[in-house]
Every structure is written in C-alpha cells, then in structure tokens.
Amino acid sequence: MPFRLLFIGDVVGEVGCAAVRALVPTLRRELELDAVIVNAENSASSGRGITPDSGSALLSVADFLTLGNHSFDAEGGREYLGYEQRVIRPANFAEKLPGRGWGTFEVGEVRVGVANLQGRVFMRETPGSPFKAADEAVTELEGSEADLILVDMHAEATSEKQAMGYYLQGRVQALLGTHTHVPTADARILSGGTVYVTDVGMTGSMSGIIGLDKEDFMDLFLGRKPSRIGVSEGPAALNAVLIEVDVEGRRATGIERVYEEPI
C-alpha cells in the first residue's frame, strides 16, 4: 500500500483555518490519508504569520506545519516556534532566528521528513541560498532515518521552483511549491520518483485577491495607500495535492490536485 499524504497550500486567516478544521477529518476518511501537512504562514487572523492559536487549530487535524516569508509576522509566532516541534520555517533563514528548517514525524512505522525553503527571486527578504540549505536539510533528514522526504519550496518565481525540482529530483519524494496562492496545472513526476508542482494554491476566501481584501488591494494598486490589507471574508476553498509514495522503493508514484469548493 502506498503512503498517502495530503499537502494543503497557504491557509489564510480564520476562514482558512475553519475550512481546514471542517474538511480535513472527512478528507482523511474519503481519501484514506496517512498524513496531512499544511502551510500555515498566513494562518494568523491578520493573514500574516502564525500564532499559538492558529497553529494549534491546524494541528488539531494536521500532523505537521510549514511556513514561509511571513513566519514571524504575527505576535507570539517566534515563541511558538521555540516550543512547538511540529512546525518548521524556511531552512535558509538566518541560523539565529527561532525554529528549525526541517523536522520529522511518525505515522505508524513510517518516519516522514519535511523541509521548508524560501526562494530569493522577486522576494523582499534575502535569505541564504535555498539550494545550499536544501543539501543540508536532505543530509540531516537522511541522517535521522526519514523514510520519505517532502520539501515545501516557498517562492515567487516559477523558474526558481522548477530549478529546485530538478536539483532535488531523485533525492526527495516531493518538491511542492507554495507562496503565490494560485495553483499551477503542472503536477508531474520527475525522474527518480520525485513528485513536483510549482504551486499548490491557497486555502482561503475566493472573493478576494490571494485571500486578502480586494478593496484594500485596489487602493494599493491605484495609489491610494491602504492603512493595511486585511483578510478577505467569505467562504474559503481548499487547495491541496494528494501524493502517493512507495516507501520501500523510496519513490513517489502519484500526485493529483485536490480542490474543495468554498464552505
């Protein structure tokens, strides 16, 4: 039996967290899931960062969380990363920052390794090389006897994510892109049994712009300078990918998109 893992893209605000909590228990049954991993970088009620509340809401139904450029944007996030072992932030962040860039969790006999990377192209922040960090993360996860390795590459540029896919093919079982909040239609299996998609898409309100308030964004683009860009209210859709891994053979054997209508 292949190992079946659902990876859910950037969860935005309370509406996104509510959708994950409502949908994941059913998806676990219907899709016969062994594990669920969620990108939580926008899960705080502000839509930026993670808080102890948003993290524990997601971990009530998920096994493990990844983050991105907004990792430390919400109050309580830094402390949370200090004590919650089931959440990681990009491995190429400065070493002195709280949290870790990779980690493992166990489902029965299977130890799942997860790493998080952030891209540098078109990003405001300039972390260290994600490629160097990827090498280190993979070596460390192999050393901790991970049976399969999934990497969340949180990046803006499709080229940088595709490059990372080829860089890690055959060394990890999944390279999944996040950050743009819009799913891409290129899910495929690279050589060596690595599943790849440029962006998983977000889990949040479909009435806004990338899950945030569209009027605030209009103000920004039309030069009216909004005081803040809030979370878009309204029902949230869920975007995810379901991946299958032959654990014995250390190869991913399938990837398919999962979309749940707004609830």
Q: Would you name the residues annotated as active-site residues? A: 70
Angstrom distance (rounded) from CA 8 to CA 242 = 9
Nearest residue (CB) to Fe ion, 4 versus 214: 214
CA–CA separation, 49 vs 240, rounded Å?
19
Question: Of 65, 251, 90, nearest to 164 (Cα)?
Answer: 90
List contacts with Fe ion (CB under 5 A): 10, 42, 68-69, 179
Q: Which residue is nearest to Fe ion (CB)?
A: 10
Q: Name every residue whose Cβ is closer than 8 Å to that of residue 163 and which is 6 or more positions away in sequence.
A: none
Mapped onto helix, strand or coil, the DSSP state of residue 167 is helix
What does the alpha-carbon distance between residue 71 and residue 93 come to, in Å, rounded to a whole number?
A: 10
Cα separation, 224 vs 236, whole angstroms: 28
Dig out the tokens for 32 from the structure: 């016969």
Residue type, 137: A
